[in-house]
Structure 1
Amino acid sequence: MATDTVMAPGIMTDLSKSLKKTNSRELALLLPFNMNRVESDTIRMQLLRSDKFLNMTLDFYAGALMAIDSAKVLGLPLKVKILDARETKNTSDIESLRGSLTSADAVVGPFFQSNVEKTADLLGAGIPVISPLSKEPGKPYPNLFQSMPSPDKVKMAMLDYLKLKDANVVAVVDPKKASSRVLIKNNYPSARFADGAITAATVKLLLVKDKMNYVILESESTGMIKNTTKILFEALPEYQIQLVVLEKTDELDNDEIPLARLTALKLMYPSVTNDSDTPESLLFAKVFKQKNGIFPNQFATRGFDVTFDVILRMFQEQEFKEVMSGVVSEQIENKFAYAPQNGGNYNTGVFIMYYDHDLSVKQAQ
């Protein structure tokens, strides 16, 4: 699989080109199979039909197995342990697995934040633990790497992108979204806010001709989104406008809001995943279907991306922690740009996506 990566934050390189294969490495996958609940084939079939958490685990595992296969293709001397964390949100079997984890060079899992913190604490600073799915910032540990960007980091990525542009920024914020207003004011002080009733007249007062106008719309009200996008759409002949949201919510998919309107406004949003159809994602989907009989969902792709990224970092000249903090990587759908903060390590890798006129989703440049 192709993988674009970075030797210093912001500079892309390919980690598969700098692999060091002289020493073997051991990876432990600590996943919540909860096999203790499966007493018979009948129970297993019932769980597969009804247990969403088990299905998510198996999807992630299928993706991780493809990453391990890819490592074999690269000729990496990789040993893998697959362990059942037997976890729920409040319980796990991690302490009894300590003896099986002490030889690992890196651990991926468990899923729940409290359990991944327990694992990092139990294993100590010498063994890196990668949290694959939790969005919670949680308690920082020097050996714990949160691979999923937090919701706040995702929103900040959008504002950081806008800061790089020579543009007029207008914010239309629902009164119920006070936290969004504060976030925008604190991080983009020059943004011009539309206060009071949102009408064509009040919005046009804030727009600038002969310059790009980024209009941040923060609302979960279908009516407000419908009204604001209509006003902006009708202003397109006079102004350069691009619609921006800090979080892509289900309300944007409402049938009352025409997709043609959102594409005309080139709706732009921050995303943990690259939602465009890249050659790499299409190839991955094809190979995954050949192996598993179904196309990969987001958890299967996440399983591949997190696992393959960790494997590539394990087989570099530098120490693992050095590679984690100094290398930005991009896999099939996910970006990994770890930054140390308050004694922990957090992924800041976010994509900026937009709707294009041909109804496709593309990555903003």
Structure 2
Amino acid sequence: MKKYMLQLVFTMVFFLALVPVSAQNYATHAVKKGETLKSISQKYRVTPYSILQANKEIKNASDVKENTILIIPLTGKVTETKPEQKPVNKAEEQEEEEVKPIRFIRHRVKRKETIFGITKKYNITQDQLKRYNTNLYSETLDRKMILQIPVFPEVDPNEEKELDFETYTVQPKETRWSVAHKYGISVDSLLILNPELDKNTNYLAAGQELKLPRPKGDSLKEQKTELFTSYTVPPKMTLYSLGREYGIPTDSIVRLNPEIMKQGGLKEGMVVRLPKKRDREGEVNTENFIFYEVKPKQNIFRITQNLKITREELFRLNPALENGLKAGMVLKLPKEKAEELEVKNALVLDKINLVDSIDVKNRPKLVFMLPFRLDKVNVADTEKTEELIKNRRDLALSLGFYTGAMVALDSIKKLGVSVDVKTYDTQLDQAKVKEILFRENLSGVDAIIGPLAAGPLDEVAVQAASKRIPVIAPISSDSKLSHNNVFFSVPRDAVLREKLLSYMEKIHKNENVIIIADSTHQVAHDSILSKFPAAQIAKVIDNKSLHLDRFLVKLSNEKENWVFLETDQPNMVASVTSILNSANTRIGETDTGKQIKVRMFTTSYNGAFEDDAVSKAHLSNLRFTYPSFYKESGNDTFVSAYTKKYDGLLPDRYAVRGFDVTMDVLLKLAYKKNLFETSKYIGLTEYSGNGFDYLNDWTSGYFNRACYIMEYNNLTIKEVEPKNDVKSNL
């Protein structure tokens, strides 16, 4: 008796726990062969969209496949499929018909027409056709028969497809792609929902609020799930053990599967619906993942090949792929993949060959603003003009840059692209720049190259920003002011420094590191020390020279010596290179009789290392290595075109830079006539002697990250080829 009472109490508690579930009016349905979303919705007398709302993983009707478990929100009685149609009376018609026709049109049956063809033509069902033509229940369709075709009111899709939205606060290290991935939408959908987002940048600020679709299909507020799976209950499986296996409470299982209550508990062979948990590898942000946006006509095989990832890992990280691959879908990838792929702002970029992607319909409008100093140059006096060019760096730079730019214009013309060009002499005067801007109409200009000096550049940037015109700074790496429309074509010192130090950190084994830095290069000193904490510090006297004896004892004859020299004093560079070269070539003078091996580096390459007092032979013996935004151009197509255009004259580095900067701008504008938009999806581009890889810093502008590691070797300067470097888009 006592045992019977315990069983009775347990049963009552179990069913009481299930009472709130029945109040929700949900049922589950296992899709059978031949069933569709429409037929299921008709069976349960609900709209197809209400089923989609309750089943988040089902994106559209094509996702409803055999054996899929659906949650059905019950709003009416379930209708059973009848073997044959019978005439119904008028009262039953009104009860079953939810939408009444607003009018009728007459249709005369033609030869070979069928009921199926007529219903398709007028977008109605066979049941609707027969309901208003009751003779079709007992008669066959005959030629010249007159039918009444019901015309129903058009349903506003917004009435049925009105989604619930929520306000989402952007977290630190989140991007548009990480947020889109988290909510299972495309970036385009994110922009449509949030029209205030700037379409010319991908920036998201931490704390910014976004309007996003509220996740649907999960009535459990505390249960964070994205997708569901069907599970066939094996023998002896209980709710408790099933909950432990899937890591969810037993009441959540019952809420998702109301038929458990109807059948008095979990039964062997029952097919239930269980949630797939979210990926627990970390928050979906740029600290843990990189992202890829699926393009039209791509397939899983091609994506796995391009992203260098297995199909299994891709599906594990992106369970939504089980519902099919769709254009605009944002996929997340392991952060480690960034070393193998080209990534910008945590987004994996596709390879785009700019030369092959030119649209000849685009006709870029380009403006050059450079200090040619025509106010100082007397063209009639050749001797004085040559002397002026020789002594004025700004004039030599402008003329060299412009001669290279002219070759770029010739080159783009041969590719079939026409360019409108205007050139202005800024005279290195900010007042002159203001006069030009006041006088000339910049409307329709696609890009401005120049000016050189900081003041005129700021003036042009401010005026151009109001018209959303990009400004390319030919020799600047930064500005004291913030300009979100300026492309700084020279990398910052910090980028160059990090390039070299990262490379050296990878190849470092047990070398003896020594730092020689004057007081003006404290930042470089600290950066080197952070990478190599065991480095020795050499004392510098009056920012000019070394204490020789104290320095020499720091050199090791057991290990290779890596000496960093951070200064902009030519005399100090000449002195230190001479000392190091002497130590490097002495053999048998140490106590052990071993040769001292020395290599010299700098993170702050400048004109002091190119001074005539510095021996190039010493630099070569020391395998002097440094970071640079410029590499020596060889006998490439540009050099040939330049010498041909200018009667055998070889281009200097200013001419090379003029060609590279101009060609980069022209090719990007020929691909898409919006430099801001192009910069989102084009990564590294390389030309004769310079590379460009712009990173948008939102309010501060676009900063070039492309640079090289150069090394003196056998009296020549060569580029050091780092492993796993991403190839250019050219």
Structure 1 counterpart of 2:639, one-letter code: A
Q: State the match for 1:353 in structure 2.
A: 710
- Aligned counterparts of 1:257 and 1:54: Cα–Cα separation in 2: 26
Change (3 A) 1:156 1:235: farther
The 10-residue stretch of structure 1 (257-266 or 290-299) with the greater mean CA deviation from structure 2:
257-266
- Aligned counterparts of 1:93 and 1:249: Cα–Cα separation in 2: 30
Report deviation, 1:241: 4.8
Within the alignment, does 1:26 sit opposite 2:365 as a pair? yes
Change (3 A) 1:289 1:331: same
1:119 to 454, 457, 460: 460
- Aligned counterparts of 1:208 and 1:345: Cα–Cα separation in 2: 46
The 10-residue stretch of structure 1 (341-350 or 176-185) with the greater mean CA deviation from structure 2:
176-185
Q: State the match for 2:181 in structure 1.
A: none
Ranges in structure 1 where 5+ consecutive residues have no aligned partner = 1-5
Alpha-carbon displacement from aligned partner over 1:235-254 (angstroms, at most 9, x marks no partner): 89657653212234555457
Report deviation, 1:347: 1.4
Q: State the match for 1:3 in structure 2.
A: none
Structure 2 counterpart of 1:33, one-letter code: F
Q: State the match for 1:311 in structure 2.
A: 666
Report deviation, 1:69: 0.3
Q: State the match for 1:102 in structure 2.
A: 443
Report deviation, 1:117: 1.8
The 10-residue stretch of structure 1 (60-69 or 192-201) with the greater mean CA deviation from structure 2:
192-201
2:424 to 70, 84, 103: 84
The 10-residue stretch of structure 1 (215-224 or 252-261) with the greater mean CA deviation from structure 2:
252-261
User: Quick check: 1:64–1:304 contact (8 Å CA) kept in 2?
Assistant: yes
Within the alignment, does 1:170 sit opposite 2:526 as a pair? no
Q: Percent identity?
A: 23
Q: State the match for 1:73 in structure 2.
A: 414
Q: State the match for 1:228 in structure 2.
A: 580
User: Quick check: 2:581–2:621 contact (8 Å CA) kept in 1?
Assistant: no
User: Quick check: 2:515–2:536 contact (8 Å CA) kept in 1?
Assistant: yes
Change (3 A) 1:253 1:105: closer
- Aligned counterparts of 1:351 and 1:45: Cα–Cα separation in 2: 38
SS in 2 for 1:203: coil
Q: State the match for 1:143 in structure 2.
A: 485
Within the alignment, does 1:63 sit opposite 2:404 as a pair? yes
Q: State the match for 2:277 in structure 1.
A: none
Change (3 A) 1:154 1:137: farther
User: Quick check: 1:140–1:345 contact (8 Å CA) kept in 2?
Assistant: no
Q: State the match for 2:43 in structure 1.
A: none
The 10-residue stretch of structure 1 (326-335 or 62-71) with the greater mean CA deviation from structure 2:
326-335
1:134 to 459, 466, 476: 476
Within the alignment, does 1:263 sit opposite 2:620 as a pair? yes
Q: State the match for 2:380 in structure 1.
A: 42
Pick the structure with greater CA Rg. Answer: 2
Report deviation, 1:312: 0.8
Q: State the match for 1:158 in structure 2.
A: 500
Change (3 A) 1:172 1:235: farther
Report deviation, 1:295: 1.5
- Aligned counterparts of 1:232 and 1:176: Cα–Cα separation in 2: 27
Number of paired residues? 349
TM-score, normalising length: structure 2: 0.43
Structure 2 counterpart of 1:215, one-letter code: V
The 10-residue stretch of structure 1 (66-75 or 174-183) with the greater mean CA deviation from structure 2:
174-183
Within the alignment, does 1:216 sit opposite 2:564 as a pair? yes
The 10-residue stretch of structure 1 (308-317 or 235-244) with the greater mean CA deviation from structure 2:
235-244
Change (3 A) 1:44 1:96: farther
Structure 2 counterpart of 1:267, one-letter code: F
Report deviation, 1:74: 0.8
TM-score, normalising length: structure 1: 0.82
User: Quick check: 2:536–2:554 contact (8 Å CA) kept in 1?
Assistant: no
- Aligned counterparts of 1:189 and 1:21: Cα–Cα separation in 2: 52
Ranges in structure 2 where 5+ consecutive residues have no aligned partner = 1-340, 540-546, 589-593, 722-730
User: Quick check: 1:215–1:243 contact (8 Å CA) kept in 2?
Assistant: yes
Structure 2 counterpart of 1:173, one-letter code: I
2:676 to 321, 343, 356: 321
SS in 1 for 2:380: helix
- Aligned counterparts of 2:423 and 2:615: Cα–Cα separation in 1: 47
Structure 1 counterpart of 2:486, one-letter code: L
Query: 1 or 2 for the larger relative contact order (CA 8 Å, sep ≥6)?
Result: 1
Q: How does 1:231-310 map to 2 (within 5 A)?
A: 231-234=583-586, 241-249=598-606, 252=609, 259-275=616-632, 277-280=633-636, 283-293=637-647, 294-310=649-665
Change (3 A) 1:163 1:346: same
The 10-residue stretch of structure 1 (123-132 or 236-245) with the greater mean CA deviation from structure 2:
236-245
Structure 1 counterpart of 2:527, one-letter code: L
User: Quick check: 1:85–1:94 contact (8 Å CA) kept in 2?
Assistant: no
- Aligned counterparts of 2:687 and 2:601: Cα–Cα separation in 1: 25
Report deviation, 1:318: 8.2
Report deviation, 1:226: 2.0
- Aligned counterparts of 1:329 and 1:177: Cα–Cα separation in 2: 34
SS in 1 for 2:431: coil
